[in-house]
Amino acid sequence: MCLPVAGSLPASKTHAKGRRWAFLPSADATSPSLGTLTIVQSKRDTVSYGIAREEGQVLFAKLTDTAEVYGVTCDRAGRPVKCNCKGYSFKATCKHVDTVEELKADGIL
Ligand SMILES: [Zn+2]
């Protein structure tokens, strides 16, 4: 099963509408990456990540030359509780946390 899936994200303070995500599962079952996730907040703010799960965290490895990795920590029940990105440290919320919530709700994670 390697069908792409997509969904929307709730509005944020900076992006009132149009926030969404798309996920393409990895075709390689042995790969540590679950697949490629793209988060769109606006035309200019569109970022793709390789997604992996590790010890209570969902890792977002930015697919750019900067190769930043963000980790969303989940609680025992699997709910996302925090992220180590800069945005989260300022606003206590971020697109990574929002997306993990949606991916869990859709049974992807
Ligand atoms: Zn984040």
Three-point CA angle 86, 98, 72, nearest 5°: 55
Summarize the confidence of residues 23-34 as an average pLDDT. 90
Task: Tell me if 71 sits within 8 A of 58, measured CB to CB.
Answer: yes
Total count of domains within the chain: 1
pLDDT tier for residue 93 given thresholds of 50, 70 and 90: very high
Summarize the confidence of residues 46-67 as an average pLDDT. 93
pLDDT tier for residue 97 given thresholds of 50, 70 and 90: very high
Summarize the confidence of residues 62-76 as an average pLDDT. 92
Say how many Å lie between the CA of residue 71 and the centre of ligand 1. Answer: 7
How much is the pLDDT for 1?
54
Which structural domain, as residue segments, surrounds residue 49?
A: 5-105
pTM of the model: 0.92
Say how many Å lie between the CA of residue 94 and the centre of ligand 1. Answer: 5
In the numeric block, which tokens belong to residue 106? 């859709």
Say how many Å lie between the CA of residue 81 and the centre of ligand 1. Answer: 11
Indicate whether 30 pLDDT > 60. yes
Sheet of 5-8, strands arranged across = 5-8, 20-25, 35-40, 46-54, 57-62, 69-74, 80-83
Rounded CA separation 108/2 (Å): 12
Say how many Å lie between the CA of residue 35 and the centre of ligand 1. Answer: 18
